[in-house]
Copies of this chain bind each other. A is one copy, B any other.
Amino acid sequence: MLSSWTGLVKSGERGVGVVVSLSDDGGKAPSAEALTAIVADDLKAVNGVIVERMQSPVALIPQLASHVVAAGGKRLRPMLTLASARLCGYQGRRHLSLAACVEFIHTATLLHDDVVDESSLRRGRAAANEVWGNQASVLVGDFLFSRSFELMVEDGSLSVLAILSRASSVIAEGEVMQLTTTNDAETSETAYLEVIKGKTAQLFAAACRIGAVVADRPKVEEEALETFGMNLGIAFQLIDDMLDYSAKQADLGKTIGDDFRDGKVTLPVILAFRRGDDEERKFWRRTVEKLDQGDGDLDHAIWLMNRHHALTDTVERARHYGAIARDALGIFPESPVKRALIELIDFCIRRAY
């Protein structure tokens, strides 16, 4: 194990103070660098597949797709496929096009999400729907989604097709469920978990599982990688949702409060609402349900969250899922790629600080 958390100290109402001991790497913060280095060559090949296969005689398609795809992002999901295949000792080339499939599905959902959320920014650039309109974003999303299935068919594994078609359904279910929890301050933690499992964690899980499938490993390894991906994905989304209210994010010049303004009910709101008194709940109902927000409301929301340790406890929850992800990898022998995957868990959670 590269690093471990020794504790989380709640340091007063307005701060998210945390003491972290990274015991066995001399205090170096966990990063995605080890993983990035291991999959670097493969990822380059995947990028080649992505660029090649998003081509179409209809010029608007590669134009719009490359705006999103080339904008980059972390390529976290295809990296998970690549690393999982390596962890399973896979030596072939099939994981390259399957990693591209995973990224195409992810990109398609981003395009549709931006239409659904009426976003104007994506990865720091103008969102595609702002540049080319909602119409093109919906349709190019459909194209990338279809192209992903074409690539899977070329690969020829019905198991992979089953995993990724199922994942796609569950993603859509998660997104629809999110619509129904938006503006409902009484959303339960269970319902929230179902939403983030669907909209985020399912694709992490599928991306990892297909690494074992191409390597033709036994079911127990497929399931271990699925569990790893699912729990990593949950932890990742929990931290994402916490960061939307984080002073650190604000310090970095990133916008905060997007979810608040949209009335999205994420775990920090759920915990603050449930732990609050009647007056506080009135505040949440006004701001998050009725979207009746004024100056200072976001600050007050964050103040309430800190008062009830809603942000620190969101990180605690993430650590719980991170621990499950880590244990899921227990059946695999030690290796650089295994260490890199475990460091990735820590890195995903470490983003909170």
Binding site for B on A (CB under 8 A): 56-58, 60-61, 108-109, 112, 115-116, 134-136, 138-140, 142-143, 145-147, 149-150, 152-153, 156, 158, 161-162, 165-166, 168-169, 171-173, 175-177, 179-180
Contacts and interface: CB of A to CB of B under 8 A. Distances in A.
Q: Do most interface residues of chain A lie in helix, strand or loop, or is the interface mixed?
A: helix
A153 to B, nearest CB: 5
A115 B171 CA distance: 20
A115 to B, nearest CB: 6
A227 B152 CA distance: 26
A45 to B, nearest CB: 22
A324 to B, nearest CB: 23
A58 B173 CA distance: 6
Contact of A162 (B112, B136, B153, B180): B153
B116 A176 contact: no
Given A61-B172, A116-B135, 9 more contacts: A58-B180, A61-B176, A116-B138, A139-B179, A142-B168, A142-B172, A143-B173, A149-B149, A152-B165
Copies of this polypeptide in the complex: 2
A228 to B, nearest CB: 23
A116 B145 contact: no
Contacts of A176: 56, 58, 60-61, 136, 139-140, 143
Contacts of A166: 146, 150
A62 to B, nearest CB: 11
Given A150-B166, A172-B142, A136 B179 contact: yes
A47 to B, nearest CB: 20
Contacts of A115: 115, 134-135, 138
A188 to B, nearest CB: 15
